[in-house]
Structure 1
């Protein structure tokens, strides 16, 4: 699992659309889809259901969203600490 996968996951969860999340992260649509596919494979679960109106978190997606946010907060804290050192 990689930081970019967690960032894609949280962004899609918050925005509700893969295309808009891709724009917000400056990714292409295929790239953000690939990040989610990799995360889903690593975790062994589906994180989103997809339809023409956007994406919705699955039960598993809702369960890991707080942890994904926490992981990103820790990564950001580490980056800030390194920048301040």
Structure 2
């Protein structure tokens, strides 16, 4: 499982269409379809029922969606803390004057 697969899953579940989710994520629709296939394969479950009108969560997809959303919040928090820590460390670095 990869973060991009989880993000695609959560956004498709919210929007209900792979093409619109792909556009919002900045990926092609085939790339997002591939991410979902990989996620489904790693979980051993079909997550969406797909048809010409869009993609609807299966029972399994509905069951994992809350956990995926919680995981994405944790990932975002970790990234935020890491970014903040890096900025704070950069602010603490001594300024070194260059001599000519």
Fold match, TM over 0.5?
yes
Give 2:34's aligned residue. Answer: 34
TM-score by length of 1: 0.99
RMSD: 0.4
TM-score by length of 2: 0.84
TM-fit CA distance, 1:43: 0.2
Unmatched 5+ residue regions in structure 2? Answer: 86-100
- Please tell me whether Structure 1 or Structure 2 has the larger radius of gyration of its CA atoms: 2
Higher relative contact order (CA 8 A, sep 6+): 1
Unmatched 5+ residue regions in structure 1? Answer: none
Tell me the number of residue pairs that the alignment of Structure 1 and Structure 2 aligns.
85
After superposing on structure 2, the runs of 4+ consecutive aligned residues of structure 1 that deviate more than 4 Å are none
